[in-house]
Structure 1
Amino acid sequence: MTNELPFGPWIAAASEFDPEVAELSVERHRIGIEALKRLEIPSIISSRPVWEDKRLSNEAFSLEEGVVKSLHSKQYFPAEIGWFESDWYATKKRDFEPHIVGGLSVGVLLCTEVMFNEHARHYRNRGAELIVVPRATGKAVDVFRTAGAMAAIVSGCYVVSSNRVGQSPNGPTFGGKGFACAPSGELIGMTSPEKPLAIVQLDLAAVKQKQKSYPCYVAERIR
């Protein structure tokens, strides 16, 4: 997997929507996806900007055997210095449904969306085994690592996340530190400048077992 919107500059550092800059970002991601195809990796999950009406949608997608498939559109957008995403992105979609990618049932939470555990739990109820969290977050990454651990605990899924790194021109400094959490919430992998790539092996039997245990099995009862 890659970080969120990986190709070109972080355009949401600007507070005003610019259609020309938006179109340039769309084109850079088109070129970037063509480059990903040439890597011949069996399955890749990332995100890209696509036009939806007069704004962009931040669309998570899979790339398998040269075919791009839409997985999810981001629905939670920050609005603060460095991350004026609500000025750039929007969507009419309300989809949080898993898809089969690389033989796994995968749900996607794009960056800020991992803060909302109800969607991780929904993915579990829909049969997800893995939750993927592409991010573009700053230096304070601990809160996202905690959110990722909680997403794993409430869903019983593996949760993996990749983040941007480095200084964005006229924008924020991204903190890197991609991570992977086991279904228990335990941290089982993390990237660093010395280790920019993390590889984890998934035990799907552990997913099935965890999803039968507390708190995953707990049902909501309202009278």
Structure 2
Amino acid sequence: MQKLLKVALIQFAPKSYEVQNNLDKALKLAHLALEQGARLIVLPELYDSAYCVEDQDEKFSLNLHQAHPNLDALQELAKNYQAYIIASSIEKDTQLYDSAYIINHKGLLGVYRKIYLWGNEKERFARGDKYPIFELEFENFKLKLGLQICYEIGFSEGSRFLALQGAEIICFPSAFGKARTYVWDLASRARALENGVFVLAANRSGSEISKINNETLTFAGKSKIINPKGEIIKEILEEEGFIVAELDLEEVQIQRQNLPYLKDLNLKLNQEILTNIHLNTKE
């Protein structure tokens, strides 16, 4: 039985502090993609608050385990189309986190907290410490999915941990800077190829100005859907919009048989080497 899944990436330019406008735009684009048959939607990093709200992170944070109009709106959309929506927001718990999460017709399915923080994110957010795998159920099949966020696309270890746990798709909600577009282009394809997974790299576009240091941040856009061979299936440049592609999940197993990187990986040796490196750096 074929495992076919239509997925969509939403790309737009969220405006700092304009949560309702950002939500409305995300919902509009997601609705259009769902009308084209998408069953899995990925939004950019911090799609609701936008990225440069570091002077008001607490104000724009969400407790993902409590009722909130934004979460309700995503759930309603997911319910109407029997779809899954991956979003990213500032999460409020005992600390603040840069988090990605999955919404389905029942509400919150799961949360991933960003581990590798970029620049002043280290002052804004606490680090996550887990690489969870999420199981998505469709009519005729199930699939395993992992999440990473933005800067983490350059850390091959995270994607490898997810692939070793069976991930067939890895999603990267992102706010990746235009100055490092070359990293985005290369690393996204590398993560797909070396793990034999589909990579859904959903980036934002546009610019924002930080109210703390008055720095203008310009984002790369170039959201892309990549197959397990590292080939780009669909890509959007810097404009606002969305892309939709149908994935044949059987390609994951085929590619892993053709290039058995995961099977041939010597985990025991890697563990020994990492232990020695850790011990040596403590001396």
TM-score, normalized by the shorter chain, greater than 0.5:
yes
The separation in 2 between residues aligned to 1:111 and 1:57, in whole angstroms, is: 14
The separation in 2 between residues aligned to 1:77 and 1:122, in whole angstroms, is: 18
Which of 93, 99, 108 lines up with 1:68 in the alignment? 108
Q: Does 1:219 align with 2:265?
A: yes
Q: Which amino acid aligns with 2:148?
A: L
Q: Given that residues 130 and 158 in structure 1 are in contact (C-alpha distance below 8 angstroms), is that contact kept between their aligned partners in structure 2?
A: yes
- TM-score, normalising length: structure 2: 0.68
Q: Map Cα deviations across residues 55-90 of structure 1 (whole Å, 9 max, x no partner).
A: 4111211010040132311010111xxxx2111111
- Over 3 Å counting, the alpha-carbon distance change for 1:195 and 1:73 in structure 2 is closer
The separation in 1 between residues aligned to 2:71 and 2:181, in whole angstroms, is: 27
1:85 aligned partner: 121
1:110 aligned partner: 149
- TM-score, normalising length: structure 1: 0.85
- Over 3 Å counting, the alpha-carbon distance change for 1:177 and 1:150 in structure 2 is same
Which of 242, 247, 255 lines up with 1:210 in the alignment? 255
- Over 3 Å counting, the alpha-carbon distance change for 1:116 and 1:194 in structure 2 is closer
Q: Given that residues 62 and 89 in structure 2 are in contact (C-alpha distance below 8 angstroms), is that contact kept between their aligned partners in structure 1?
A: no
The separation in 2 between residues aligned to 1:118 and 1:28, in whole angstroms, is: 28
Deviation at 1:112, TM superposition (A): 1.1
Q: Which has the higher helix share?
A: 2
Q: Map Cα deviations across residues 82-140 of structure 1 (whole Å, 9 max, x no partner).
A: xx21111113x421121113532101111111211122122121111100001001113
Q: Which amino acid aligns with 1:207?
A: V
The separation in 2 between residues aligned to 1:175 and 1:28, in whole angstroms, is: 29
Q: Given that residues 78 and 86 in structure 1 are in contact (C-alpha distance below 8 angstroms), is that contact kept between their aligned partners in structure 2?
A: yes
Larger relative contact order (CA 8 Å, sep ≥ 6): 2
Q: Which amino acid aligns with 1:159?
A: V
Deviation at 1:162, TM superposition (A): 0.8
2:21 aligned partner: none
Deviation at 1:193, TM superposition (A): 4.8
Q: Does 1:190 align with 2:228?
A: no
Q: How many residues align?
A: 211
The separation in 2 between residues aligned to 1:192 and 1:209, in whole angstroms, is: 30
Q: Given that residues 210 and 216 in structure 1 are in contact (C-alpha distance below 8 angstroms), is that contact kept between their aligned partners in structure 2?
A: no
Mind listing any 5+ residue stretches in structure 2 that lack a counterpart?
1-41, 211-215, 273-283
Deviation at 1:27, TM superposition (A): 5.2
1:2 aligned partner: 43
SS in 2 for 1:26: coil
Q: Which amino acid aligns with 1:22?
A: D
The structure with the largest alpha-carbon Rg is: 2
Identity of matched residues, %: 25
SS in 2 for 1:165: coil
